[in-house]
Structure 1
Amino acid sequence: MADLLQPATRLSVPEVAHGGRALGSGRHRMDRRQSAVLDRLLVSGRDLLTRVDRVLTDGGAPADHPVLPLITRWRVLPGGALEFAAALRPPLTAPPVPAALPDAPVEWAGPASAVFGAHWAGLRAHQETLVTRAEATAEYATQVSDWMFALRSDMADAVAAALGSAEAVAIRTALPDGFVAPEVVRAAADLGHLVLAVVTPFDPAAWTASLSESPYLPADRPPSAPGRGFTINT
């Protein structure tokens, strides 16, 4: 077993956070092919990480291995992290943003003019607020989409590296129901760390104020003027 884990071919397990990519850049909305790679690796990756999960469950991990705090933080094993990333389906387009209301389409004269003008001004002010909310919603959707593409892309990189590693050979050639050798435990922990290190959260808390409901408050009605009816100046 030790021959399968020579340093020259051993997997490197660096700390990873989105592969150094910045959220919100739109890069991952454009680079969809890298995200799609994860779907092609899913069957092989699922088989390998199912074995990794079994070793980690039965044999644990070395006491100070960095995979342990990641399992504690995310409360998931590597196979579960793969399934989570594979289930993400990033939206390809942001929701539309409505245009602002125009000025009053006609000029009114008569007692109804002031009432109409007040309501129209109130509607325009409210609609401007809705446009701002819609723009924030579109940006939020873009951020979520970028995060999904980033996670899927980074997971594809991690799974590809895991599948081609000496640690994967050690996991696949281990006896299914026999003694779990320390080298196999270490290999499973290294692969688990490689996969779990690319998992990053998306925190929507920063968007709470921008996406909160904006109720319409009708404008105050002006005092009623004597008389009835109106005329329209075209």
Structure 2
Amino acid sequence: MNAGRGQGAGRHRADRRQSEVLDRLLGSGRDLLARVDALLDEGGAPADHPVLPLIARWRVLPGAALEFAAALRPPLAAPPVPGPLPETPVEWTGPAAAAFGAHWAGVRAHQDSLTARAEATAEFAAQVSDWMFAVRSDMAGAVAASLGSAEAVAVRTAVPGSFAGPGAHRAAADIGYRVLAAVAPFDPASWATRLAESRYEPSARPQPAPGRGFSVDV
């Protein structure tokens, strides 16, 4: 699936407005696509029609694709990224301070890795959100175009359960292709290494110096 769509801020805002249109078209869209699904299930599509590869790819009929897009709810905010830890939380000296300082340095180094993962997670969430807006936007456009098309008239006038004729089946296939093509793929595989778990590796503990106790700098 391609995450490139919806990258620009202008496209993102347009997608957000357009995606809200989908909710207003759901009632009419569900009715039309239920008829489309019935015709495709009953008589199939012409052998050379481009809807067939999309049905084989997604393994759903157009009505299910509409429900998928309608169920997408893009997040409104990215997850937070933690701020940096202080270099030294307290000023002190002695063997205990040296041991603590080694551990603290390890924790701070680990936090750098966690911060990089958090930033990658926020970027990933933003791209997923943009993809959701884009799918909902494109689905809204596909449903709106289908509802006002000549193919919709042919589909609505066809009698379910009887031989509707090649014209009605091709009209259903045309609408089905328009709807299924609106579901853009998204492939998270490229994020696998950036989102991999960051494991904490403790720093080597310093060798204790002779003596006991510690002193605190005031």
TM-score, normalised via structure 2 length: 0.94
SS where residue 39 of structure 1 aligns? helix
Q: Which residue of 2 aligns with 1:212?
A: 196
Gaps of at least 5 residues in structure 1 are: 1-16
Aligned length: 216
1:191-223 Cα distance to aligned partner (Å, 9 max, x none): 011111111111111111111111111111000
Answer yes or no: is 1:37 the counterpart of 2:21: yes
TM-fit CA distance, 1:93: 0.4
Equivalent residue letter for 1:207? W
Distance 1:192 1:160 in 2: 13
1:3-23 Cα distance to aligned partner (Å, 9 max, x none): xxxxxxxxxxxxxx99xx734
1:42-90 Cα distance to aligned partner (Å, 9 max, x none): 0100000010010001011111011111111111111110010001111
Equivalent residue letter for 2:100? F
Contact 2:5 2:130 in 1 (8 A): no
Q: Which residue of 2 aligns with 1:66?
A: 50
1:170 to 150, 154, 157: 154
SS where residue 198 of structure 1 aligns? coil
2:34 to 44, 50, 53: 50
Gaps of at least 5 residues in structure 2 are: none
Contact 1:26 1:146 in 2 (8 A): no
Mean Cα deviation higher: 175-184 or 85-94? 175-184
Q: Any runs of at least 4 consecutive aligned residues in structure 1 with deviations exceeding 4 A, and if so which?
A: 26-29
Q: Which residue of 2 aligns with 1:7?
A: none
Distance 1:27 1:226 in 2: 65
Equivalent residue letter for 1:24? Q
Alignment of 1:1-234 (within 5 A): 22-27=5-10, 29-31=12-14, 32-234=16-218
Aligned-residue RMSD, C-alpha: 1.6
TM-fit CA distance, 1:98: 0.2
TM-fit CA distance, 1:131: 0.4
Report % sequence identity. 68
